Amino acid sequence: MKRLEQKFRELKKEGAKALITFITAGDPDLDATCDLVETLVAAGADVVELGVPFSDPLADGPTIQAASGRALAQGVTLKKIIATVAKIRLRTDIPLVLMSYYNPLFSYGLEEFVADAATAGVDGVIVPDLPLEESYLLRSLADGKIAVVPLAAPTTPDARLAKIVASGSGFLYYVTVTGITGTRTSLPLELTSTLDRVRKIADKLPLAAGFGISTPEQARVIGKHSDAIIVGSALVEIIATHGAADSGRKKLFDFVGSLRQALDA
Amino acid sequence: MESEKQRTPDENGYFGDYGGRFVPETLIVALNELDDAWSKFRNDPSFQEELAAWLKDYCGRPTPLYRARKLAAALDIKEIYLKREDLAHTGAHKINNTMGQALLACRMGKKRLIAETGAGQHGVATATAAALFGLDCEVYMGEKDIERQAMNVFRMDLLGAKVIPVSSGSRTLKDATNEAIRDWVTNVGNTHYIIGSVVGPHPYPAMVRDFQRVIGIETRSQILEMSGVLPDVVFACVGGGSNAIGIFHPFLEDDLELVGVEAAGSGIMSGAHSAPLSVGRPGVLHGSLSYLLQTEDGQIKEAHSISAGLDYPGVGPEHSFLKDQGRAKYISVTDTEALTALRLLCRVEGIIPALESAHAIAGVIQEAEQLKDKTVVINLSGRGDKDVATLAKLESGEDEK
């Protein structure tokens, strides 16, 4: 959790924007996940999100659904992912955040999950189907151990947004579109002004914009109106197409590097 | 008369430990709007009068309560009454809910309806209401269900709805529901999602129940009129559980037994079944916390039932509550038992029930020993026309043996 706060503090000091990268844990397998995280770090990612595969990922588009399916077919479980995080921790200090639907956490046991995740070196968790009203238990158990990253959407009214930010920790995951994850050729026209408005209300937490961001140009534009951008499906697509061996990792490295450059430009 | 207890859930949508609202943030405002609209219109005489008029003149309510003497004789049970939801317009109880929600959508200014469907009955009922009220309609349906419920797919098409095949996961109701939720997250501004059962995030389980309570309200007054006393036991099949809640709810405060019948598929021990209340454990699927079929790691298991309408790994949260309270009892019957019950009802009463409803009858057959001197009500939730292709296939398969 400290790693996450520290990272955003450092970036703020440097006037730099955070690049948050998402991959599905266990796609194509958990050993590959360790290597892929290293590639992301080397290419300039500031935070890595690891998706916990779920049988019914209702906030995800086809790309991440398919990655989830591949990981589940490998027998990937939350327990194994936490063990993988412990291995990754031997290699890098990058902040690591798990993105999981609620049922795998609930089934694991929230208290056990928080304890095991924190011990392994997980810094935070994002739960896309756990809105403010349902998150109290997880937040209170996680307090001081791992961040519970809140989500806000274009449909969230200002007063609610303020409550969401006040309750959350780590950063604010702002969902840029009303929709599911996946690459988009265009983002809403009003997005940059929306982000400026959100930032005013959400000044307690770093503002990270995600969903639909898939090109360096989008990264550049949105980075100017937020503290961080989150890219997921575009990376998962590269891994799905090119694999996680040397050539696939090279493609991933180049693409993440191009996002980094655009964000720093 | 409604007691406080009957007005569960609490303000957060919990029936005891079950229910709630486990959905992406994007939908919270829409759920709040829906909750506000429903709270307003459920007590609005003009809304209730309009709905009652549609239910009467268009849907054919009240549906009869029929005393099935032949069935009672065949099973050696004192009295059996069938609540004939199969005689409601479109052939099942589903229309009670879709008329209510479509009317609500009109009042909320939504122009587009979406729905998920398993057996196709809810899809047809949604398409029907959409045609009647002039709304656009798209229905998500698993590819496997499209194959086994071809007639209902054609009916939806005739009614002007677009059926969208779902190829993910088990290609059944669970996956159709995922896809409908994804659509709603994307088009939340102009779209109302008509969930077909007492599942999903708050306020759906309570709202759908309220629309289906008409079944139990009618049954209660009909049986009092016909026999002068309340029944001893009420049976209904349980998939998501809307027909069961609909008939159970007005009897909750009465001294009688409520029995929900889940689909045991190929048998509980086989693992291929749809009986979360019988052998599942609590978890979160499609927006609420309830009993679920899931793996040790919290992945949702694929359900199995010969009946597409019961082929679902979850169940409405109020049923989980009633189970834990001990207020309702939940049993299960296999595909084979349901088929036997279906054939029996056809032969002795001249009624072809839906495969779903056949489970309720099979539940009565299973418990017949203890029902000898009882008055039993069975909710005959739908008619079996949609299932004849499945049945014909089974018959020919059996002939080959």
Position A131 confidence tier, pLDDT thresholds 50, 70, 90: very high
CA separation for the pair B338, B111 (Å, rounded): 40
pLDDT score of B7: 60
CA separation for the pair B120, B173 (Å, rounded): 10
Q: In what order do the strands lie in the sheet with B112-117?
A: B162-166, B136-142, B112-117, B191-194
pLDDT at B398 over 60: no
Chain A positions touching B25 (Cβ under 8 A) are 131-132, 151-153, 155-156, 164, 175
Pinpoint the alpha helices (H) of chain A: 2-14, 30-43, 62-73, 78-89, 102-108, 110-120, 136-142, 158-167, 191-201, 216-223, 233-242, 246-264
Is the CB of B11 inside 8 Å of chain A's CB atoms?
Answer: no
**B124 Cα distance to chain centroid:** 14
Q: Could you report the predicted ipTM of this complex, rounded to two decimals?
A: 0.96
Long-range CB pairs of B68-76, under 8 A, 24+ apart, other chains included: B68/B349, B70/B348, B70/B349, B71/B344, B71/B345, B71/B348, B71/B349, B71/B361, B73/B348, B74/B344, B74/B348, B75/B364, B75/B365, B75/B368, B75/B371, B76/B368, B76/B372
CA separation for the pair B247, B63 (Å, rounded): 13
* Among chain B residues, CA nearest to A179: B186
Cα within 13 Å of Cα(A205), Cβ side: 26
b/e B61-95 (16+ beta carbons within 10 angstroms → b)? bbbebbebeebbebbebebbbbbbbbbbbbbbbbb
Quote the number of domains for chain A: 1
C-alpha distance from A130 to closest chain B C-alpha (Å): 5
Contact across the interface for A131 and B284, Cβ inside 8 Å:
no
Mutate to test the interface with B, among A54, A55, A126, A177 (most CBs of B within 10 A): A55
> CB-CB: which of A106, A164, A179 is closest to B186?
A179
* Among chain A residues, CA nearest to B283: A103
Cα within 13 Å of Cα(B248), Cβ side: 25
CB B308 within 8 Å of CB B263: no
> CB-CB: which of A79, A155, A175 is closest to B188?
A155
pLDDT in tens, A10-40: 999 999 999 999 999 999 999 999 999 999 9
Contact across the interface for B287 and A129, Cβ inside 8 Å:
yes
C-alpha distance from B183 to closest chain A C-alpha (Å): 8
* Among chain A residues, CA nearest to B284: A103
Give the three-state DSSP class for B313. Answer: coil
A224: which DSSP letter? T
Cβ atoms within 10 Å of B46's Cβ, excluding its own: 9
Contact across the interface for B25 and A152, Cβ inside 8 Å:
yes
Q: What mean pLDDT do residues A48-74 have?
A: 96
Residues of B with active-site annotation: 94, 116, 381
Contact across the interface for B300 and A103, Cβ inside 8 Å:
yes
Cβ atoms within 10 Å of B17's Cβ, excluding its own: 13
Position A188 confidence tier, pLDDT thresholds 50, 70, 90: confident
CA separation for the pair B9, A233 (Å, rounded): 38
Look up residue B199 and give its two tokens: 């599942």
pLDDT score of B396: 83
Contact across the interface for B298 and A78, Cβ inside 8 Å:
yes
**Contact residues, B window 295-354, toward A, CB-based 8 Å cutoff:** 296-300
Is A136 contained in some domain? yes
- For B340, counting Cβ atoms within 10 Å of its Cβ (0-12 exposed, 13-18 middle, 19+ buried), the class is middle
Give the three-state DSSP class for A133. Answer: helix
CATH code, domain with A169: 3.20.20.70
How far does chain A reach from its first CA to its final CA, in angstroms?
Answer: 29
* Among chain A residues, CA nearest to B183: A179
pLDDT in tens, B235-282: 999 999 999 999 999 999 999 999 999 999 999 999 999 999 999 999
- For B401, counting Cβ atoms within 10 Å of its Cβ (0-12 exposed, 13-18 middle, 19+ buried), the class is exposed
Is A87 contained in some domain? yes
> CB-CB: which of A106, A131, A153 is closest to B298?
A106
CA separation for the pair B377, B181 (Å, rounded): 35
Percent of chain A with pLDDT over 90: 94
Look up residue A186 and give its two tokens: 């265009």
C-alpha distance from A131 to closest chain B C-alpha (Å): 6
Query: Residue A78: beta bridge partners?
Result: none
- For B45, counting Cβ atoms within 10 Å of its Cβ (0-12 exposed, 13-18 middle, 19+ buried), the class is exposed
Q: Tell me phi and psi for residue B383, to 5 degrees.
A: -95, 160
pLDDT score of A186: 84
Query: Residue B71: beta bridge partners?
Result: none
Average pLDDT across chain A, whole number? 96
Contact across the interface for A156 and B29, Cβ inside 8 Å:
yes
Q: Give the count of Cβ contacts less than 8 A between chain A and B.
A: 112
Say if strands A172-175 and B112-117 run parallel, antiparallel, or are unpaired: unpaired
**Contact residues, B window 18-57, toward A, CB-based 8 Å cutoff:** 20-30
Contact across the interface for A156 and B28, Cβ inside 8 Å:
yes
CB A131 within 8 Å of CB A167: no
pLDDT at B371 over 70: yes
pLDDT at B3 over 70: no
Mutate to test the interface with A, among B21, B299, B301 (most CBs of A within 10 A): B299
pLDDT at B5 over 80: no
Is A265 contained in some domain? no
Is A96 contained in some domain? yes
CA separation for the pair A180, B80 (Å, rounded): 49
Position B6 confidence tier, pLDDT thresholds 50, 70, 90: low
Chain B positions touching A101 (Cβ under 8 A) are 284
pLDDT at A8 over 80: yes
> CB-CB: which of A57, A130, A155 is closest to B29?
A155
Q: Tell me phi and psi for residue B192, to 5 degrees.
A: -110, 130
Is the CB of B127 inside 8 Å of chain A's CB atoms?
Answer: no
* Closest-CA residue to B197 (of B252, B162, B239): B239
Chain A positions touching B284 (Cβ under 8 A) are 101-103, 106, 129
Query: Which residue among the candidates A14, A29, A35, A60 is catalytic per the annotation?
Result: A60
Contact across the interface for A107 and B28, Cβ inside 8 Å:
no
CB A192 within 8 Å of CB A225: yes
Give the number of residues written for chain B. Answer: 401
Supply the range of the domain harboring residue A227: 2-260
Is A174 contained in some domain? yes
CA separation for the pair A133, A145 (Å, rounded): 21
Contact across the interface for B25 and A108, Cβ inside 8 Å:
no
C-alpha distance from B11 to closest chain A C-alpha (Å): 11
pLDDT score of B400: 42
Degrees, nearest 5: CA angle A232-A234-A239 = 95
Average pLDDT across chain B, whole number? 95
CB A58 within 8 Å of CB A129: yes
pLDDT at B397 over 80: no
Who's near B146: CB < 8 A, 6+ residues apart?
A: B153, B163, B165
CB B97 within 8 Å of CB B126: no
